[in-house]
């Protein structure tokens, strides 16, 4: 079977342009809310003077300033003679970010700046003035090429792929770049030492990343990027046809976003030696049903080979989004529902959170489209930022405590924001209306 898969993979690599360009995300894009928190903080790329220029921290707050429109762009006046491009709202497929706007030097592009475009965006050009790109600034389905003004001292473009000027950091591989190359393979340059988080966001077509022997930071195993020593899974190309992936022995860490958008995978199996599995590794893995951990693993456990917990099952780490269970039975003794733990679950109809749980963390139930009812215990002390955001069918929370106790729960800003409707919180002594 393995040989058959490899043969099919090899054949797919030589597919023509039409086969490559047919990829794309179906339905609404689920961009994780990363504006206020990110537990993983990779080292940014620095210039010689120490200024961080390549990408912003995911929890970085939006700067204060005057918002203004100029052409097809919305800008933020930082008050020091410079401005950030906040969004593009035009309809043209070729987006050229200006070097100046309203007399201000455009020095940065903010997170998800292209997502408001009215039509497809195929090419982006950055001016010489831009020195900062916030997290996933150029994330956009359909983007094929990124070009950079030759005078820019911070960034460079090689065949439409964005790098730091020195070539040591891969910043953004455009989501549909294979439509330009005509194949579903990308060769990582030997100079690359760092791959920025979000570098491959929403690329559903890439099947192989090839790493040469002279690259000192990375290697590839069947087209999957690992650290040079093989201890860390860095990036799994989302277009691979695998429905099952067995993490090899020797791996101790999974990188944040390592499997993002891998929509074919139904099961991951982790060996005993894995010490770090961030929940963000599985975002937008819409076919995922099982996360299985070797029973000898000291850090994690899997309930019936499906649900990922920490070893003693006091923390729910990740609930696969395609688990068909409509009413999830949370294990007794659990204390915390972690960041992104149930993010994007497709079939969860009811969430009966047991007594003893004290924290529902950041983005825990965000984008749970089918979730209609949640039972929350009196032991609950904290509901994190965006914990129940964009749960469009959630109308009722059954809270075991009193209305006064409900009000004492520390709730993160926007905990029920977005498409989440008005929620009726049924307390033991009456109802409370929770508005977003």
pLDDT digits (tens, 9 = 90+) for 38-97: 334 334 443 334 344 555 555 577 889 999 999 999 999 999 999 999 999 998 899 999
How crowded is residue 263: how many other Cβ atoms within 10 Å of its Cβ? Answer: 16
3-class secondary structure, 343: coil
Domain 324-436 matching CATH 1.10.8.60: the answer reads no
Give the per-residue pLDDT at 14: 32
Residue 327 to residues 86, 319, 324: CA-CA distances in angstroms? 40, 12, 9
Give the per-residue pLDDT at 59: 58
Residue 331 CA to residue 341 CA, distance in Å, equals 14
The torsion of the CA quartet 427, 430, 433, 434, rounded to 10 degrees, works out to -20
Assign 3-state DSSP to the chain and report helix, strand, coil percentages, each to 5. 5, 30, 65
DSSP sequence for 228-245 = TTS-EEEE--TT---SEE
Residue 284 CA to residue 340 CA, distance in Å, equals 11
Give the per-residue pLDDT at 4: 39
The torsion of the CA quartet 338, 342, 344, 347, rounded to 10 degrees, works out to 180
Give the per-residue pLDDT at 391: 94
- 324, burial (CB in 10 Å: exposed 0-12, middle 13-18, buried 19+): exposed
Give the per-residue pLDDT at 389: 94
Residue 211 to residues 10, 34, 146, 219, 250: CA-CA distances in angstroms? 16, 30, 22, 5, 19
Q: Are 184 and 22 in contact (CB under 8 A)?
A: no
Q: What is the pTM of this model?
A: 0.84
Q: What percent of the chain has pLDDT above 70?
A: 86
Q: Are 282 and 307 in contact (CB under 8 A)?
A: no
Element (H, E) at 97: none
The torsion of the CA quartet 28, 31, 32, 37, rounded to 10 degrees, works out to -150
Beta bridge mates, 209 = 186
Report pLDDT digits (tens) over 156-175: 999 999 999 999 999 999 99
How crowded is residue 29: how many other Cβ atoms within 10 Å of its Cβ? Answer: 13
* Sequence ranges of the chain with CATH classification 3.80.10.10: 324-436
Nearest CA-CA partner of 87 in 61, 118, 59? 118
- Per-residue pLDDT at 28 exceeds 80: no
Mean pLDDT of 137-164: 94
- 353, burial (CB in 10 Å: exposed 0-12, middle 13-18, buried 19+): buried
Give the per-residue pLDDT at 36: 41
Report pLDDT digits (tens) over 312-345: 999 999 999 998 888 888 888 999 999 999 999 9
Q: Which residue has the higher pLDDT, 32 or 147?
A: 147
Q: Are 70 and 99 in contact (CB under 8 A)?
A: no
Q: Which two tokens stand for residue 427?
A: 């307390």
- Per-residue pLDDT at 130 exceeds 80: yes
- Per-residue pLDDT at 306 exceeds 80: yes
| Cβ-defined contacts of 39-42 (< 8 Å, 24+) | 39/278, 39/339, 40/197, 40/256, 40/278, 40/280, 42/194, 42/196, 42/197
Asked which of 12-16, 89-93, 431-435 is least confident by mean pLDDT, the reply is 12-16
Asked which of 249-253, 283-287, 333-337, 359-363 is least confident by mean pLDDT, the reply is 283-287
Mean pLDDT of 91-114: 94
Residue count of the chain, please give it. Answer: 436
Say how many Å lie between the first and final Cα of the chain, rounded: 50
Indicate the pairing of strand 267-270 with strand 290-293.
Answer: parallel
DSSP conformation class of 130: -
């Amino acid at each position: 079977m393995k040989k058959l898969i490899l043969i099919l993979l090899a054949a797919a690599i030589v597919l023509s342009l039409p086969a490559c360009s047919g990829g794309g995300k179906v339905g609404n894009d689920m961009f994780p809310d990363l504006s206020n928190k990110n537990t993983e903080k990779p080292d940014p790329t620095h210039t010689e003077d120490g200024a961080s220029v390549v990408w912003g921290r995911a929890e970085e707050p939006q700067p204060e300033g005057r918002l203004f429109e100029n052409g097809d762009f919305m800008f933020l006046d930082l008050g020091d003679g410079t401005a950030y491009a906040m969004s593009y709202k035009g309809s043209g497929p070729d987006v050229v970010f200006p070097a100046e706007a309203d007399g201000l030097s455009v020095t940065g592009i903010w997170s998800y700046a292209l997502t408001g475009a009215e039509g497809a965006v195929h090419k982006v050009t950055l001016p010489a003035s831009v020195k900062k790109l916030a997290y996933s600034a150029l994330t956009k389905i359909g983007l094929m090429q990124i070009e950079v003004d030759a005078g820019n001292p911070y960034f460079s473009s090689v065949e439409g792929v964005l790098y730091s000027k020195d070539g040591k950091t891969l910043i953004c591989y455009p989501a549909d770049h294979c439509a330009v190359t005509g194949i579903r393979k990308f060769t990582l340059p030997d100079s690359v030492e760092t791959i920025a988080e979000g570098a491959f966001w929403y690329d559903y077509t890439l099947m192989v990343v090839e790493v040469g022997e002279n690259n000192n930071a990375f290697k590839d195993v069947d087209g999957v990027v690992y650290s040079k020593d093989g201890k860390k899974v860095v990036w799994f190309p989302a277009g691979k046809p695998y429905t099952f992936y067995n993490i090899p022995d020797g791996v101790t860490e999974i990188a944040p976003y390592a499997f993002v958008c891998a929509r074919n995978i139904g099961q991951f199996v982790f060996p005993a030696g894995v010490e770090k599995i961030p929940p963000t590794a599985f975002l937008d893995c819409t076919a995922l049903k099982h996360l299985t951990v070797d029973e000898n693993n000291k850090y994690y456990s899997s309930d019936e080979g499906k649900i990922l917990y920490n070893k003693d099952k006091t923390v729910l780490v990740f609930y696969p989004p395609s688990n068909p269970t409509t009413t999830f039975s949370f294990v007794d003794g659990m204390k915390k529902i972690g960041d992104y733990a149930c993010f994007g679950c497709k079939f969860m109809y009811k969430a009966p959170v047991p007594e003893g749980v004290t924290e529902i963390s950041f983005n825990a139930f965000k984008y749970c489209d089918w979730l209609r009812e949640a039972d929350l215990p009196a032991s609950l002390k904290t509901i994190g930022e965006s914990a129940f955001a964009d749960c469009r069918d959630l109308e009722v929370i059954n809270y075991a405590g009193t209305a006064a106790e409900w009000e004492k729960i520390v709730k993160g800003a926007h905990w029920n924001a977005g498409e989440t409707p008005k929620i009726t919180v049924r307390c033991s002594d009456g109802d409370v209306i929770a508005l977003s």
